[in-house]
Structure 1
Amino acid sequence: MFKTSFFLALLLSFFSQVSQAQQVLNVLNWSEYIDPDVVSDFEQKYDAKINYTEFESVEQYTTEFFAKDAQFDVTFPASTMINLLVENNLIESLDKSKLSHYDNLSKDIMDTLANHDKGNQHSIPYMWGTTGLGVNTKALKRLGLTSKQDSWSLIFDESSRKKVKSCGMALLNERDELFSAALTYLGYSVNTTSKDELRTAGTLLKETLTDAIYLHTSQQYTDLASGKVCVIVGYSGDVIGSTEENADTAYFIPREGAPMWVDVMTISKNSTEKELAHAFINHLLDAKSAAKNSNFITYPTPVVAAKPFLEEDILSNPIIYPPQNIMSRLQAQAPQTRKVSNIKHRLWVKAICSGGKWCTVPMKSFF
């Protein structure tokens, strides 16, 4: 009798410990792209543990996401990646009944996202922004280039670029962002399907890359702040963050226009914690959580209900939250066909490898 009671007590204790074990959520997000307090708040609220993996580029996302035995519950791809993730049955349809803060989202951003995700069934916008120019205004003044500091001609016009080369130019290592910049400078749509226009842009990129010190996904921000380079191409929030460390630096949305992008939240097909994944996404859609994130990373949030909680210097900054006259110059990338992606990738490989400095890009790309 004693042995039986003792065994039952141990068994009950074991199941009690199992039931109380923390749930674990595996998250794949861009580096330094969330306020750590927002993560901690969620872990405390749901007695959960977040295993957080970061990536710095589309290429690195691909490596992490498709790694052998990889299992992520929530990932944060760019909106341009959604159509391929859906086509390959890699992400779940969302249960919007579990997203009580869904109505907090901007209709304009949702409409933009619907171009990639019909009916907004598989993704929720997380942040959005622009890709533009980070410059050292003092250095450009010395070179007589102040009038071009807010123009793509600073890097794509040969005479200007050769001057910039003397103080250092570093470019964002993202194929589609640089193609969009080149296409915009040439007066073409970022969504062109014309082989001739894509080839012209590819040739321009090839010429431009020969004068760049390097291509990178993050190093250029530190180097702009420290004065090691005077012109960079990068993501708005990251450039703005670096300019806070150097009063001579600034971010510009080029006068010709610029790429506008949206990063999204998705739930993977192989997620083992779909309920908790929905809860995490909903947590990030909460007005106060969204404002914390926007204030922390200096990117605009698509959660309109967050506005009362945004810091004034963030909300009033026309580079972070652009007015309509600037918004009208932005171009959002539409879903691109495999054919267009392949053309771009061949031209990208050719541009990178022609100089012999950075020829490490894969010959094929899933995205």
Structure 2
Amino acid sequence: MTPAPAFRRRRLLRGLAAVLLGLLPLAEARAQAPTLNVFNWTDYIDPAVVERFTRETGIQVRYDVFDSLETLEAKLLAGRSGYDIVVPTNEPSFSRLIAAGALQPIDRARVPNWANLDPALMKQLETSDPGNRHGAIYLWGTIGLAYNVGRVRELAPDAPRDSWRLLFDPAVARRLAPCGIVMMDSQIDVIPSVLRFLGLNVNSTAEADLRRVEQTLMGIRPHIRTFASGGAIELLASGQACLAFTYSGDAIQAADRAREAGRGVEIRYVAPKEGAQLWFDVLAIPRDAPNPAAAHRFIDFLLQPDVMAAITNAVHYPNAVPASKPLVEEAIKNDRNVYPSEEDFARFFTVTAVPQAAERARSRLWARFKAGR
């Protein structure tokens, strides 16, 4: 016998109420679940890694990105950033944040996978963080030039492709300007490389040295199409730019995307022969992190060899967990732009933080350069 409509509605409502009551514990659990707040560089992790962390721990992740060290420092030095994990570069940002008391020491007892880190690389990091108290190396690389092989060959066939002159020589930059030159929007990263190109101390605070840097940059300013950091990847890959001052991994990502697009764009990266800056990006915990327990758990999770291999495979930057290398794709681990040789390392340099007065002078120089006056 078919139930009466009213009875049918009552039975449906009782069933719906039961379902809703059953969902309440799940909703409450989600509401009470801890949230990890991450502030990392653009295009700098395998999204599947973040999903796996949540799946294995139940910790939700709010993931924000930045594209310059200036942005990161401004957030942290202002206080109450709301982040649990940040990823500063060793110099000058990481050491400066430590000196300002903006980062808390890491409790290694809560990070057993710390033992997976490369002791030699961590030893280099000690110049920024004595005793490695405040951070673990996440990824590392160099700063150099990425260029479109075909367009550079067409417009400046005699240009030196292994030298900073490809960008910093106004005569070369003028010829390449029609196909688009992209400058990284970060004085922290650019000025030391210009100093190195000029044969000067990369940490110089001398007024005369900064004048020479400014003269060099102003000489190429008319030929720069745009200032960008993370955006350089797409500009290169799509053929909208033919030369970029950029990070090694971004250049390699651009080369991969260009190949995948199949439009005949070939991108190469060079760490210039005069010397390229070597840097380390570091997993760190802000002093006022709202959830430091989740932050420690995230660092420990990332330092697993298979996790770091997945990240390197996704973003093409080397990591500091040697046991991950057998799990890295052959083409990546055999690429000297990703994993440099000992000969390459001999040409690399690191920088140190400069005094505040010198930093302000550099910032004013950079503002004049960007404005073109």
Q: Tell me, yes or no, whether TM beats 0.5.
A: yes
Q: Which residue of 2 aligns with 1:27?
A: 38
| 2: CA distance, partners of 1:167 / 1:18 | 54
Q: Which amino acid in 2 is paired with 1:158?
A: P
**Could you state the TM-score of these two structures normalised by the residue count of structure 1?**
0.88
1:258 to 273, 276, 279: 276
Assess, with a 3 A threshold, how the Cα gap between structure 1 residues 146 and 219 changes in structure 2: closer, same or farther.
Answer: farther
Structure 1 residue 275 and structure 2 residue 293: aligned? yes
1:122-161 pair list within 5 angstroms: 122-161=134-173
Counterpart in the other structure of 2:188: 176
> Is 198-207 or 116-125 further displaced after alignment?
198-207
Instruction: Tell me, yes or no, if the aligned pair for 2:179 and 2:241 is still in contact at 8 Å.
Output: yes
Shift of 1:145: 3.2
Is 1:324 aligned with 2:335?
Answer: no
| Equivalent position to 1:304, from 310, 322, 345 | 322
Deviates more, 1:338-347 or 1:60-69: 60-69
Distance 1:19 1:345, change over 3 A: closer
The residue number in structure 1 matching 2:8 is none
Equivalences for residues 1-367 of structure 1 within 5 A? 17=28, 21-65=32-76, 70-80=81-91, 81-244=93-256, 245-246=258-259, 247-355=265-373
Q: Identity over the aligned pairs, expressed in percent?
A: 28
- Return the offset for 1:113: 1.3
- Asked if structure 2 preserves the Cα contact closer than 8 Å seen for 1:105 and 1:304, the reply is yes
Equivalent pairs, count: 343
**Relative to structure 1, is the Cα distance of residues 191 and 234 closer, same or farther in structure 2, using a 3 angstrom cutoff?**
same
Partners of 1:159 and 1:277 in 2: how far apart? 49
Q: Which moved more, 1:117-126 or 1:163-172?
A: 163-172
Q: TM-score, normalization: structure 2?
A: 0.86
Distance 1:20 1:209, change over 3 A: closer
Query: Which secondary structure state, in structure 2, belongs to the residue aligned with residue 54 of structure 1?
Result: strand
Tell me the alpha carbon deviations over residues 314-354 of structure 1, each in whole angstroms, 9 at most, x when there is no partner. 10000110101111111111232223212211211121223
* CA apart distance, 1:78: 1.3
Structure 2 residue aligned with 1:365:
none
Tell me the SS of whatever aligns to 1:148: coil
* Aligned Cα root-mean-square deviation (Å): 2.2
Aligned-partner Cα distance in 1 for 2:70–2:320 = 25
Deviation sequence 1:201-222 (CA, Å, 0-9, x none): 1221122222101111122221
Q: Secondary structure at the match of 2:325?
A: helix
Shift of 1:68: 7.7
Q: Secondary structure at the match of 1:307?
A: helix
SS at match of 1:27: strand
Q: CA deviation digits over 1:47-91, x for unaligned, max 9?
A: 110111111112332454467853111111111212221222211
| Contact 1:203–1:351 (CA under 8 A) maintained in structure 2 | no
Structure 1 gap ranges (5+): 1-9, 356-367
- Whether the 8 Å contact between 2:145 and 2:271 is mirrored in structure 1 is yes
Aligned to 1:7: none
Higher mean C-alpha displacement, 18-27 vs 280-289: 18-27
Structure 1 distance, partners of 2:310, 2:158, is 35
Given that 1:220 and 1:232 are in contact with CA atoms closer than 8 Å, whether structure 2 keeps it comes out as: yes
Q: Tell me if the contact between 2:221 and 2:372 (Cα under 8 Å) persists in the aligned partners.
A: no
Structure exhibiting the larger radius of gyration computed from Cα positions: 2
Q: 1:314 to 1:216 in 2, by over 3 A?
A: same
Answer 1 or 2: which has greater helix percent: 2
CA drift at 1:147: 4.7
Residues 46 and 235 from structure 1, CA distance in 2 versus in 1: closer, same or farther, beyond 3 angstroms? same
Q: Deviations over 1:147-193 (max 9, x none)?
A: 51221101111211211123221111111221122112111232223
Q: Is the 8 A contact 1:285 1:303 kept in 2?
A: yes
Cα distance in 2 for residues equivalent to 1:249 and 1:346: 33
The 3-state SS of whatever aligns with 1:317 is coil
How far residue 229 of structure 1 moved from its aligned partner, in angstroms, is 1.9
Aligned partners of 1:202 and 1:344 also within 8 Å: no
8 Å Cα contact 1:112/1:332 also seen in 2: no
Unaligned ranges ≥5, structure 2: 1-20, 260-264
